[in-house]
Structure 1
Amino acid sequence: MDQPLNEKLITASEQGDLPTVEQLLNEGASVDYKDAGGRTALMAAVQKNQIPVAKRLIEANSDVNTRDVTQLTPYLCAGANGFHEILKLTIAAGADIKSVNRFGGTALLPSSEKGYLRTVRVCLDSGVAVNHINDLGWSALLEAVILGNGGRLYSDIIELLVAAGADPHLQDRDGKSSLEHAQAMGQTEVVKILKNEDREQHEAILQAKSLIKADNYEEALGILDEALDKEGSNADLIYYKAYFLSELERYGEALEQYRKGLALNPHDLDFYFYTANTLRMMRKPEEALAEYDKAIELDPEETFYRYHKSNYLRELGRHEAAVAEMDKLLAQQPHRYDFSFHKANSLRSLGRHQEAIDAIENAIKHDPANPLYQKHKAQSQELLDKV
């Protein structure tokens, strides 16, 4: 096995350098070779959303179900990061849609949690079980309610999940359902969806949403433009125009529209989340993080934006910063044992294993029978013993 050649393939794949990938494959580089983190070249390409390279490696029979040291497969990684194009490629190549990550969740759960509507749609269309429960005791619907904010995007995700058969009465490990969480969090639109009550939506938006189900994006955008021409500024119309543009990967135009929404009402904090997501897809991490910070500054008591900022920091591998955000979240909501769990995982990534054990103990105190917490404590203890 030519290790330098294989390592070059992983590097070129991560960088999206398709000509070099092609050359290295022709020279005999192995698509099955794994680096110290258990990553194949395909996993490296998926992590950076390098679509042409991922497509080429899949054509070269790279295994879409092989796992790295974090137990992610290329399929699960694409789902967790909202990379719907690569997700579709892995499914077409035989991805195991029943497979789960180290938290016991399918690809549908993290995409529902993080607000990746199109990825949710791909998962549901491929047959991923809508009521699967992960080791935290949450379904995709519970995650979308508990870790969402009940705004435009999360309402659409929840509407999609419910239409696919998500059960609003499934309970978490505390015996609380999605409906009860939505009511307690004041998510008015979500409560209507979960109760199957009528929602008041602009006729142009209903028409546009119907059209994009058949991928008629240009026609949908035309309907929204016509409504905007007639009515002038309307935050909901602007949002849907921007979101459809982002689904078409016209990120610059989408960002411009989201900025219009913010100019209309700088306190419509949802738009900071949308701009952050768009900048993330544009690979502008510093600008994306700044958008989260603007929302946090405007409403420091709202945990939603800080939580999703910490999620993004973990994706970027900035675990020190993620721990700092988790500490702030726990200061606000010490009863959120899931925050302690995420903090523990970042601490373990930093090699601070005793602190990771201390953090997971906080979660265990709340839910001592949870096998996921016990498993992660044991893993951190094992790593600490090795040190």
Structure 2
Amino acid sequence: MEGNNKDTSLLEAVQQADHPRIAQLLEQKADVEMTDDLGRTPLMLAVQKNDTDAVAQLLEAGSDPNHRDITELTPFICAGANGFTASLKLMAEAGADVTSVNRFGGTALLPAAEKGYLHTVEACLAVGVPVDHVNHLGWSALLEAVILGDGGRLYADVIQTLYDAGASVHLQDFDGKSAVYYADEQKQDRVLGILTDTLEDPQHPAVIEAKSLAAHHNWSAASQTVQAALESDGDNLDLLFYAGFYLAAQVRFEEALAQYSRALAVAPDALEFYFYTAYCYRLMNQTENALQEFDKGAALSSENPFYHYHKSNYLRELGRHEEAVEVMEELVDRHPSRYDFWFHKANSLRSLGRHEEAIAAIEHAIELQPDNPLYAKHKVQSERLMS
């Protein structure tokens, strides 16, 4: 790896997850703020690999959780955007600026809510990330969770968590629309009930008990509670979801997948479970299996952008921007009025060095939302890169 320091040994040791070598280099006072050609420090690399042990080693040695790479991303925000809760907590304890924002104006909470990372949302709120911060698209974490979520069990819990933390349900985006408006428009009945205080809690008593246990991170007891209830109520989708969710929290992914598969066998139209299986495969580093699950959900809900959008997100995380662009092209063809889709397509094109196409895409976003300075800024950046 080529960096702007001659000795890149620490960067290489982090890439290889060689913890003894990392410790040795830190003992020898290696520069913890050295960067690679993308401006990433060893800490950023450790976060991106979800290597919590390396994150702890580097923080103890004084690595800065607020250092920005060439895309203006910090290790702290990166952890939030990828659902790496343990690393996020470590960096908050080490003095990370919990109010810091990425180049889109979003805190760590916004992408965590957008992607359904419930534990990370809880951690962000616990360390003081503002609940109602609005990004340059005009969205708060609550708006993102509704607009970019599916209204299923996981997103309902994310939204309930934000609501309980005081998120404003009446805060409006640049189009003058609130989370309540979008929940109603997208027929997210469960979410609408939460936001309007009209939800009649139909949850199984075992789920209520399990949630109480999970609030104290007692995943094992929470899991046992719902699985015991499944013995007499094996077709209950709520029980099957939480059984899988709490197993995944214990890194028992194969067992979690079995519960989600059981739910799909009971109710093949419960499409949200494809998102949960994809998430499990992602955490297992089984990339192709995860992508296949996104495709299954997309095939069964072709008019709903949810699965296509989250597949494109995942492809961007993987650095597979060519494929992400293909997915985004399909999305903007089907939903040409979505300025956020045009914007994300432009960013993937720019990552590929396809600047003329990126400028054309960002101009579509400008046409749809002409008063947003974010788009003009990114157009100028692409023009500069092109020249």
- Shared topology, TM-score over 0.5? yes
Tell me the equivalent position of 1:46: 47
Distance 2:151 2:341 in 1: 20
- For residues 93-132 of structure 1, the C-alpha deviation after alignment (integer angstroms, 9 at most, x for no partner) is 0000010000000000000000100000000111111011
- Aligned-residue offset at 1:372: 0.8
TM-score by length of 1: 0.97
Alignment coverage as a number of residue pairs: 384
**Displaced runs of 4+ in structure 1, greater than 4 A?**
none
Q: Does 1:308 align with 2:329?
A: no
- Aligned-residue offset at 1:247: 1.7
Q: Give unpaired runs (5+ residues) of structure 2.
A: none
Tell me the equivalent position of 1:274: 276
- Aligned-residue offset at 1:378: 0.9
Instruction: Determine if contact 1:14/1:50 at 8 Å carries over to the other structure.
Output: no
Instruction: Determine if contact 2:148/2:306 at 8 Å carries over to the other structure.
Output: yes
Q: Does 1:367 align with 2:352?
A: no
Instruction: Determine if contact 2:4/2:37 at 8 Å carries over to the other structure.
Output: no
User: Secondary structure in 1 aligned to 2:33?
Assistant: coil
Q: Does 1:168 align with 2:169?
A: yes
Distance 2:272 2:126 in 1: 27
Tell me the equivalent position of 1:220: 222
Tell me the equivalent position of 1:297: 299
Q: Give percent identity, aligned residues only.
A: 55
Instruction: Determine if contact 2:4/2:34 at 8 Å carries over to the other structure.
Output: no
Instruction: Determine if contact 1:132/1:140 at 8 Å carries over to the other structure.
Output: yes
Distance 1:249 1:59 in 2: 26
Tell me the equivalent position of 2:125: 124
User: Secondary structure in 2 aligned to 1:101?
Assistant: coil
Distance 1:3 1:99 in 2: 27
Q: 1:277 to 1:341 in 2, by over 3 A?
A: same
Instruction: Determine if contact 1:193/1:199 at 8 Å carries over to the other structure.
Output: no
Instruction: Determine if contact 1:14/1:47 at 8 Å carries over to the other structure.
Output: no
User: Secondary structure in 2 aligned to 1:383?
Assistant: helix
- For residues 213-234 of structure 1, the C-alpha deviation after alignment (integer angstroms, 9 at most, x for no partner) is 1222222222212211122222
Tell me the equivalent position of 1:64: 65
Q: How does 1:161-310 map onto structure 2 within 5 Å?
A: 161-197=162-198, 198-310=200-312
User: Secondary structure in 2 aligned to 1:231?
Assistant: coil
- Aligned-residue offset at 1:91: 0.3
Instruction: Determine if contact 1:15/1:45 at 8 Å carries over to the other structure.
Output: no
Instruction: Determine if contact 2:5/2:35 at 8 Å carries over to the other structure.
Output: no
Q: Give unpaired runs (5+ residues) of structure 1.
A: none
The letter for the 1-side match of 2:85 is H
Distance 1:159 1:109 in 2: 15
Tell me the equivalent position of 1:74: 75
- Aligned-residue offset at 1:250: 2.1
Moved more, 120-129 or 293-302: 293-302
Tell me the equivalent position of 2:114: 113
Distance 1:60 1:321 in 2: 38
Distance 2:222 2:319 in 1: 38
Instruction: Determine if contact 1:189/1:199 at 8 Å carries over to the other structure.
Output: no
Instruction: Determine if contact 1:192/1:199 at 8 Å carries over to the other structure.
Output: no
- Aligned-residue offset at 1:2: 10
The letter for the 2-side match of 1:83 is F
Moved more, 224-233 or 258-267: 258-267
Instruction: Determine if contact 2:109/2:124 at 8 Å carries over to the other structure.
Output: yes
The letter for the 2-side match of 1:10 is L
- For residues 64-117 of structure 1, the C-alpha deviation after alignment (integer angstroms, 9 at most, x for no partner) is 111101111110100000000000000010000010000000000000000100
TM-score by length of 2: 0.97
- Aligned-residue offset at 1:336: 0.3
Q: Does 1:25 align with 2:26?
A: yes
- For residues 279-311 of structure 1, the C-alpha deviation after alignment (integer angstroms, 9 at most, x for no partner) is 111111111101101111222222100100000
- Aligned-residue offset at 1:265: 2.4
Tell me the equivalent position of 1:143: 144
The letter for the 1-side match of 2:36 is D
Instruction: Determine if contact 1:64/1:74 at 8 Å carries over to the other structure.
Output: yes
User: Secondary structure in 1 aligned to 2:306?
Assistant: helix
Distance 1:107 1:2 in 2: 28
- Aligned-residue offset at 1:245: 1.4
